Amino acid sequence: MRLPAKAPTLSEMFTSLMAKDKFADELIDRLQSEDNTPTPGGRYRHWQKLQYLEPPDGLTHEMWWLGIKLARQSLLRPWPLRDLQGDPFRFAIPDNLFELLHQIDRQAAGAFAGENSLPEGREKAAFLMRSLQEEAITSSQLEGAVTTRKAAKRMLREERRPRDKSEQMIHNNYQAMLFVTQKAKHRRLDPELVTEIHGILTEGTLDDPKAELPERLRNMCAFANNEDQGPFVHPVIRSILLHFWLAYDHPFVDGNGRTARALFYWSMARQGYWLIEYTSISRLLLRARSRYSRAFLYSETDENDATYFVLHQARTILQAIAELHIYLERKAKDRRRSLEILQDSGALNLGLNHRQLALIRHATDHPGDQYSIRTHKRYHNVSYQTARTDLLGIAEAGLLLQTKVGREFIFLAPDDLQERLAAAARR
């Protein structure tokens, strides 16, 4: 993508203004005393955007930018990351970010109830598995994995060995997400855990997985664990800045982006934002890849102001939560409709267990879909024999078409499933 214009720095603007305007002191006093905001129009704008907007009456673009920069100075907070020249990164919490953080706190760390809430029990575990698979696929696609979402999901569901580098990336990413959400979130971060996560992500794809910049890696871990003795940083901001830090330092030959996003999930889960595990941040980043890249570049080209990245990621988190709500609402409607179909057809009286009914509900909406004993076993977290009994029972009732591919049984959802359900209920 095209690199954004480097924003004029405060020192550059002061030097330029003092050199060519004898009334510079009065202008600076005016800029500081007027109702100048760090977020004109409610947006934390970069010079790249601002230079094309209409400035307030009597001001040039450079004067307007100077006023905005002056207004931001009191908001900017330090954190331990420094660039490779030794200059510090900072971030601000403008009003619009306060609002985003409040919404994330309410929606991602508290109770989640109501008709469209998450499922319970084994169905909840299956839902989490699908979410982690989605994150694994799209995080890998962000880094160049070339495969379709459908093919990648099938590989993960069937636990098939990867056939190429792209599938290996996705397989590794899924294993890393399982590790982060099941084990690593209970551990404090240290360089060994970072390299362990990176090792899972890059297994079989890297010749040299060694990390560079060990001192900076230790400093990053201290910040992630809130051991840096610095001022309070909101937990969501800390997670986002951890993502930024690893991606900025790039301590590994490859896999830095995937590791950075995995560490974001580690940090959010460890700090109690449990709902984030059921969302895919990378799916949204992939959908708007240029905005994700631009958020990094804006931060690096405006005196190391990480606010641009923090705002972008906070909006992405909220969008992911909103899409989760939409998905759950749609699934709740689908369940109600499927239950009505099953009730009307008499299928609820066929003696099917809850796993078989769940599969039938899915099959009524997806004629032609394929099911295997392995995928059914994994989805419901049951033994192979239980999964086999479930599927053979449905097939024997005439509700699935049974065939064989190689040595594996495959079960197909027939186009006339509703009619078959009705016929089976009458028998």
Q: Tell me the pTM.
A: 0.85
Vertex 159: Cα angle to 138 and 389 (nearest 5): 125
Same domain, 68 and 88: no
pLDDT of residue 33: 67
DSSP code per residue over 66-101: HHHHHHHHTT-EEEEEE-TTSPEEEE---HHHHHHH
Contact predicate 223/80, CB 8 Å: yes
Same domain, 50 and 155: no
pLDDT digits over 45-73, tens only? 999 999 999 998 888 898 889 889 999 99
pLDDT digits over 361-418, tens only? 888 878 888 899 988 998 888 899 999 999 999 999 899 999 988 888 999 999 888 7
Residue 339 lies in a domain: no
Contact predicate 262/201, CB 8 Å: yes
Same domain, 35 and 171: no
Same domain, 273 and 390: no
Return d(Cα 130, Cα 174) in angstroms, integer: 10
- HSE (side-chain half, CA atoms, 13 Å) at 22: 0
Return d(Cα 373, Cα 384) in angstroms, integer: 7
Residue 372 lies in a domain: yes
Q: Look at residues 46, 74, 102 and tell me which one is the last residue of a structural domain.
A: 74
Closest CA to 39 of 52, 54, 50: 50
- φ/ψ (deg, to 5) at 45: -85, 145
Domain membership of residue 185 as a residue range: 79-327
Vertex 33: Cα angle to 27 and 34 (nearest 5): 90
CA dist 43 → 40, 64, 244, 280 (Å): 6, 14, 21, 25
Same domain, 47 and 70: yes
Return d(Cα 55, Cα 49) in angstroms, integer: 12
Residue 237 lies in a domain: yes
Same domain, 40 and 163: no
Same domain, 321 and 400: no
Residue 4 lies in a domain: no
pLDDT digits over 272-302, tens only? 999 999 999 999 999 999 999 999 999 999 9
Q: Give the domain CATH number at 307.
A: 1.10.3290.10
Return d(Cα 300, Cα 153) in angstroms, integer: 36
Same domain, 93 and 44: no
Does the structure show a pLDDT above 90 at 321? yes
411 three-class SS: strand
Helix (H) or strand (E) holding 308: helix 307-345
Q: Look at residues 54, 74, 94 and tell me which one is the last residue of a structural domain.
A: 74
Same domain, 355 and 208: no
Same domain, 136 and 211: yes
Contact predicate 337/381, CB 8 Å: no
Same domain, 209 and 233: yes
Residue 407 lies in a domain: yes
- Give how many domains the chain has, as a whole number: 3
Closest CA to 259 of 155, 184, 162: 184
pLDDT of residue 360: 86
Residue 243 lies in a domain: yes
401 three-class SS: strand
Contact predicate 381/392, CB 8 Å: no
Contact predicate 257/112, CB 8 Å: no
Q: Give the domain CATH number at 392.
A: 1.10.10.10
Same domain, 20 and 124: no
